Amino acid sequence: MKVTEREFGVLDGQVVTEFCLENDNGVRVKALDYGGIVTETWAPDVTGNFTNVSLGFKTLDEYLEHSPYFGALVGRIAGRIENARFELDGKVYELTKNEGENQLHGGPNNFSKTIWDAASLERDDEVGVVFSMTSPDGHNGYPGNLDVRVTYTLNNANEWKIKYEAASDVTTVFNPTNHIYFNLTGDVAKTVLDQTLQVRSDRIVALREDSIPTGELMDVAGTAFDLREPRPIRDGATSEHPQNIIIKNGYDHAFVLNHAPNQADARLVDPQSGRVVEMETDCDSVVIYSGNQLSGKFAIDGTPVPKYAGVTMETQGLPDSMNNDGFGSAVLKEGETFQSETVFRFTTI
């Protein structure tokens, strides 16, 4: 196993580096110190042919110009915060708005737009890269100087692990994620509609038309959101359920996870190539987004990106929990350390 580095571009006079993690099986994960962006993930099909199974651009300029959050770290708070405000310990915090009256993914110049400090690591059983940064007090409206460390590792079990750690000098809120899009065909011209998805969940966070949570945890039974058994992503895209329609036909919802020992929380399968990604996490939910709004806005390596070009599995706490009772807590207390881990395992049928 090894880690290699190359210059990917230059931003404001600072070199942006791409780290390539490669295991002994030929599986590779490439990531930038800009935004922690995963640019490529290479995995084999059932015949051993490798291809890149995630969406990403070839140049830094494209990442700067477009904002689909391909492969990026987002935070401090993933998802949308209603009216870009929340109350903590009796004080109301007004956040920077970047989606109408709301805040999305931590606001402008969030984690995905930051050049992180980065250091490679090589151990007997894994290789990786450690990203670290300090989000200053008041950035995008959030309290506290927040020290964040995110570690990507790859091992010979073909597991890409993301470990999040954070601490603040005052009590604050924190709920990060990684916004990687998978397309297991390896062909961006092909959609993920015929790939199957299974998620250990019997409830989703219902949304308003502006994608803000209603506060309801909706039972998935009898709907296209029932992914307890594998079903094609196409079912969500063609569903006439109001929750599928309001987010432009598909999925863009947090699924409340029912964890079970030694079982994947989610499983994405491409029946044609036989490629599989299994996801395990200690987070309370995973946001499944089927690329409903990707269509025609940009190209990857010269190929126009179609609607449904990729699907995300964004592991996180439930969205906008500060403004919704029963959604758990995103509070990170002074003196405490936030820790969370997500694993993506590349395998075949």
Residue 179 bears catalytic tag: yes
Query: Within 10 Å of residue 10's Cβ, how many Cβ atoms?
Result: 10
Query: Within 10 Å of residue 324's Cβ, how many Cβ atoms?
Result: 18
Phi and psi for 100 in degrees, rounded to 5? 65, -125
Spatial neighbors of 349 by CB under 8 A, at least 6 apart, are 46, 269, 271, 274, 276
- Give the DSSP per-residue string, 38-82: EEEEEEE-TTS-EEE-B---SSHHHHHH--S-TT-EE-SB-SEEG
Tokens, residue 263: 């079982």
Any known ligand binding at 180? yes
Any known ligand binding at 252? yes
Query: Within 10 Å of residue 222's Cβ, how many Cβ atoms?
Result: 8
Give the Cα separation of 9 and 76 in Å (integer): 25
Q: Identify the active-site residue in 82, 126, 159, 314.
A: 314
Spatial neighbors of 294 by CB under 8 A, at least 6 apart, are 68, 305, 306, 307, 308, 309, 310
Residue 253 bears catalytic tag: no
Any known ligand binding at 181? yes
Spatial neighbors of 21 by CB under 8 A, at least 6 apart, are 1, 3, 28, 29, 30, 31, 127, 128, 129, 152, 153, 154, 160
Give, for 199, the enclosing helix (H) or strand (E): strand 196-199
Integer CA distances (angstroms), 172 to 77, 85, 91, 252, in order: 11, 13, 11, 26
Q: Identify the active-site residue in 82, 126, 139, 179.
A: 179
Coil/strand/helix, residue 140: helix
Give the Cα separation of 193 and 278 in Å (integer): 18
Any known ligand binding at 169? no
Q: Looking at the annotation, which residues are catalytic? A: 179, 314
Q: Which residues carry a binding-site annotation for beta-D-galactose?
A: 179-181, 252
Q: Which residues carry a binding-site annotation?
A: 179-181, 252
